């Protein structure tokens, strides 16, 4: 079974610019939940890798983050989608950890825990942090414009695939897997 790694904010849910601090603030991007379902039905395992520095900055606590993820999982389940696991970095930039994207630690943790190499595994994100984390561990960076459109207005290297949103990226991956 193939693996796809997704960033959360700006890919699955609306990027507010201010952290998602409660379940009420977590709003799915139109079509994103169904996109995860299409990936699942095509045989992809889906996991999330997300920076959540709001924990370090005391904007929300782990209980609230768990409630946010429970809401996300509930809504995914309603459309027949499954995110197998959510991996997150709780640190702020200043902490200098290895798990905060763009460093590859979070993705390497996924590889270790799932016992899967990340070579050419799609990593779909909305920022250069996601792209650089993917590159650092040999994953396949895919950038979507749904979260930070300004990050995709610069000249992009040829090895970066860009799509409007998760739905478009998922469709491309499913078609590729089906050999069409």
C-alpha separations of 109 from 9, 68, 132 in Å: 20, 22, 16
Residue 157's pLDDT is: 74
70: tokens are 């429970």
CATH of 2-177, one of 3.40.50.1860, 3.40.50.1000, 3.30.230.70, 3.50.50.60: 3.40.50.1000
DSSP-assigned beta bridge partners for residue 129? none
Residue 179's pLDDT is: 85
- Per the prediction, the chain carries an average pLDDT of 94
Residues 6+ positions from 63 with CB-CB distance below 8 Å: none
7 annotated active-site: yes
DSSP-assigned beta bridge partners for residue 88? 50
- CA atoms of 102 and 160, how far apart (whole Å): 15
94: tokens are 């200043």
The alpha carbon of residue 32 and the mean position of all alpha carbons in its chain are separated, in whole angstroms, by 11
HSE-CB for 72 with a 13 A CA cutoff: 28
Confidence band of 151 (pLDDT split at 50, 70, 90): low
Choosing from 9, 126, 130, 165, the catalytic residue is 9
177: tokens are 């897997």
Choosing from 7, 126, 130, 165, the catalytic residue is 7
Mean pLDDT of 9-13: 97
């Amino acid at each position: 079974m193939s693996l796809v790694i997704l960033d959360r904010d700006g890919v699955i849910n609306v990027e507010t610019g201010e952290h998602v601090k409660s379940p009420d603030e977590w709003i799915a991007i139109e079509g994103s939940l169904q996109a995860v379902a299409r990936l699942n039905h095509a045989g992809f395992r889906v996991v999330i890798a997300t920076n959540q520095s709001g924990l370090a900055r005391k904007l929300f606590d782990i209980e609230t983050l768990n409630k946010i993820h429970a809401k996300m999982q509930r809504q995914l389940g309603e459309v027949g989608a499954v995110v197998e696991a959510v991996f997150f970095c709780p640190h702020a930039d200043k902490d200098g950890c290895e798990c905060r994207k763009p460093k590859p630690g979070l993705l390497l943790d996924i590889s270790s825990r799932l016992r899967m190499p990340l070579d050419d595994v799609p990593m779909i994100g909305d920022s250069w942090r996601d792209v650089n984390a993917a590159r650092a561990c040999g994953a396949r960076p895919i950038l979507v414009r749904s979260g930070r459109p300004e990050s995709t207005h610069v000249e992009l290297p040829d090895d970066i695939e860009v799509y409007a949103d998760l739905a478009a990226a998922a469709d491309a991956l499913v078609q590729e897997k089906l050999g069409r």
